[in-house]
Every structure is written in C-alpha cells, then in structure tokens.
Amino acid sequence: MTYRPLEISTVTDYIRDTALMGSIFSKDETLVAEDLADGNVNLVFRVSNGTTSKTASVIVKQALPYARAVGESFPMPLKRISVEHHALTVQAQYCPQWVPRVYYYDEDMALMVMEDLNQHVIMRKGMMQQIQYPQFARHLGLFLARTLFYTSDLYCASEVKKQQVSLRINPELCRVTEDLVFTHPFIDHPGNHWNPRLTEEIDEIRTDSPLLAQIMDLKDRFMTHAEALIHGDLHTGSIMLNQHHTAVIDPEFSFYGPMAFDVGSLLGNLAISYVAQGAYGLNTKTVAEYRRWIAESIQTIWTVFSLEFRSLWRTYAHSWKNEVYIDQYLHRLLRESLGFGGVEIIRRIVGLAHTVDLEHITDNEMKTYAEITALRMGRLWIQRSHQLTHIDELVSLMREVAL
Ligand code: SR1
Ligand code: MG
C-alpha cells in the first residue's frame, strides 16, 4: 500500500481492511474514530466499536513525514515507526508488563495499531493534578534496569551487540536530539523561544564556558557511547499510568546510546514538575506533600534501578564480574544522569519543545519565578554532576533550589 496520512474520516475504513476485524473487532460491526493527537510528532487516533455495549478499542499511531506540531518545515522520516516497533518488541521481551501491546504493524503506511490504554493517563497531566502513583517509581526503576542491562555489552555477546548497534542507528532522530537538547538552546537559533523575562538568566547560561564545556561533553557521550538500546525520549509524556499499572510508550527516538540519558530525561522531567507545583496556586501543604512524593519517587527510581541492575549483573553478566567495577559503573551512571537531567530541564524552557507543566501556568509572575527556578536547577544539576555520590544529595539539592 502506498503511504497516505490517515484522517478521522479514513482511519475506520483502513481498520476495516485489516485482520483486526475478526480478532479485536467482530467482522460486521460499526467502527468510530476519535482524534487523540496531542504530542509533538505523530498522528494518533482511537478506533472503537463505540456503538455496541461490549466496547473494544485500539490506538492507531501513524508517522507523518514531518513533526505534527511544527509542520513541514521540520521534516522527520517515516521510518521512525519501524524504530519504535523494534524498540517496543525488544522492551516487551524484558518488560512485557510495562509496554503497550502492538496488534498490527504496517511499514508502508508507517503505522502501528496498539493496545488502547484507556484506563491510564499521561503522567505529565496526572502530575499537574497532584495525583500520586504508588507503583510508578518501582516500575520505572525495574524497566530501566532490565531494558538497559539486557541490551548492553554486560549481557550481550560482543558480535551480537555490535551488529545490533549498526542495525539500530536512528540518525535523523538522534540529530533532532543533538540539536534540540544539546545545541540550539545554548546558541541563537530560530527554533528557540522563551519567556522574555528569562533573557538575563539565559544569557548567563550561554556565557558560562565551564558549563557549556560540560554540556558539550554530555553531547559527545550521547553521540558516541553506544551502551544499550535506550528509549531516547523518556519524559513524563512518554509514560501512561494509573494507581496500579505503568506503561512506557513512544520509543521512536530509540538507538544504542548512553544509559544515563534515559535515567536523566526521566529525573529531569520529574524535577520540572517539582518546580512547577509551586506556581499552580495550591496551598503550601499540598505543594509540600506532592513535592515530597516526587522526591521519594526519584529516590526509589534510583534505588530500585541500581539494586536490580546490580543483581542482573551479578547473575547474568557474561564477564565483568568485579564488585569494585560495578560500584564504579553505577556511580558513573548516577553522575551522568544528573548531567543529562540538567540539560533536559534547560532545553524544555529555552528550546523548541516546551512542557505543558510550565506552559499552562497563567500567572506571569509565578511562571517566570518557576522557570527561573527550573533554569537554576538545571544549571546546578550539570555543575554538581561531577561530585554527586548518592541520590539523596540530588533530593537535598532540589529542596534547596525550589523552596
Ligand atoms: C519536533 S520533536 C520535539 C521533541 O518532541 C519529542 O517528544 C522529543 O522530545 C523532541 O525533542
Ligand atoms: Mg514522543
């Protein structure tokens, strides 16, 4: 089939022509579609048999030849759907309970039909309503440890890993991250935009040579350290969850990169929410309580991650069995995560792709205060990343910066 972008009026006919009629849906039932797209990049529809009492539904995700939220001036390759399909397949091998099921894959149409997580919400939105998710931190700690360990050289045979690295290069989307995360926010670039009241703070960042050197070093690690098959864009908009279950979605930026990029992206986005909570006009007790939950989640993610990673290493590593080296490796991952997390925080305020947790703050004073706090947090994370020895120090740092 030749590629054509689907629309709300054509997506049901597309599904009608697939084997999903007879598996997910009954052969003759009426289908209805909803447009759910709200991310930066793709088309997303829900197709359901909404007219019958026993409702079945699926999500249809289709790549466009450009980033949906920006337009044709920001081309992106259709083949990113095959990157995502592969990453979901690998992640499902090690963590089937934490990734959406794929029912149907059409490479020509650059689309996947997936499980509808309609009992879940996007984590970023849940956090904007101060919802606590008791299972999330443990699930993410385990997800990170398993997906990263099992795709690394610690576990994979050398030849197999090298072959995978070469097969799974994702040059166009890596370039998007190199530009949007590590480069453009720190130079003049037409894609950047920010609240004009931050200009002084941003100028300080852009003229801080030692800081810029650290960011360049992180960019170099991102570009050259093929440690494991990483998710590549693990922010709180890439997590859907409820009180019992967590699903990691959208690994289209996946490639063999530095493990700490995933950990750092996640922690950085949690920190953005931590800061933003103070600007939602909530009472101080609510803010303090929710911030405590975010801080505990950060501690739990790292603790569960490092315990599980260590245990997998001791049990399944094919060599490398040296406790001093394990300590050293985990310590390095913690420091690098802090650095990557700091860059992620800054780029979400200065670069092309902002986050709704800060953007939806209506009071301009409060918004400016939150954004300046977040910029200082990001900068400090990068600066302190060389000294960090324990996750508790990161949490103390967050408490110091966001009062
Ligand atoms: C045009 S792509 C902008 C951002 O959206 C994605 O989710 C990635 O975070 C990327 O940097
Ligand atoms: Mg995404």
Residue stretches of the chain with pLDDT short of 50: none
Question: How far apart are the C-alpha atoms of 268 and 321, rounded to whole Å?
Answer: 31
In this structure, what token pair is assigned to residue 400?
């110091």
* Residue 67 near ligand 1, beta carbon < 6 Å: yes
- Residues 6 or more apart in contact with residue 165 via CB below 8 angstroms: 226, 256
The pLDDT assigned to 370 comes to 98
| Identical topology for domains 11-115 and 121-401 | no
Residue 303 has, within 13 A of its CA and on its CB side, a CA count of: 11
Protein residue with its CA nearest to atom 4 in ligand 1: 353
The pLDDT assigned to 50 comes to 80
Q: How remote is the CA of residue 185 from the centroid of ligand 1, in Å? A: 13
**Correct CATH for 121-401 of 3.90.1200.10, 3.40.190.10, 3.20.20.70, 3.90.1170.50:** 3.90.1200.10
Question: What's the one-letter identity of residue 262?
Answer: D
Question: How far apart are the C-alpha atoms of 111 and 104, rounded to whole Å?
Answer: 8
C-alpha distances (whole Å) from 87 to each of 76, 168, 255, 256, 302 are: 18, 9, 8, 11, 23
* Residue 252 near ligand 1, beta carbon < 6 Å: no
Question: What's the one-letter identity of residue 99?
Answer: V
* Residue 70 near ligand 1, beta carbon < 6 Å: yes
Ligand 1: nearest atom to the Cα of 67: 1
* Residue 176 near ligand 1, beta carbon < 6 Å: yes
Protein residue with its CA nearest to atom 3 in ligand 1: 353
The pLDDT assigned to 52 comes to 63
The pLDDT assigned to 28 comes to 87
Q: Coil, helix or strand for 176?
A: helix
Give the residue extent of every domain in the chain.
Answer: 11-115, 121-401
Q: Would you give the DSSP letter of residue 100?
A: P
Closest ligand (CA of 180): 1
CATH number corresponding to 11-115: 3.30.200.20
In this structure, what token pair is assigned to residue 399?
């408490």
Closest ligand (CA of 250): 2
In this structure, what token pair is assigned to residue 29?
């039932």
* Residue 180 near ligand 1, beta carbon < 6 Å: yes
Q: Would you give the DSSP letter of residue 25?
A: B
The pLDDT assigned to 403 comes to 82
pLDDT in tens, 177-232: 999 999 999 999 999 999 999 999 999 999 999 999 999 999 999 999 999 999 99
Ligand 1: nearest atom to the Cα of 40: 5
pLDDT in tens, 88-139: 999 999 999 999 999 999 999 999 999 999 999 999 999 999 999 999 999 9
The pLDDT assigned to 51 comes to 67
Residue with tokens 């919400």: 121
* Residue 41 near ligand 1, beta carbon < 6 Å: yes
Based on C-alpha coordinates, what's the Rg of the chain?
21
Q: How remote is the CA of residue 245 from the centroid of ligand 2, in Å? A: 20
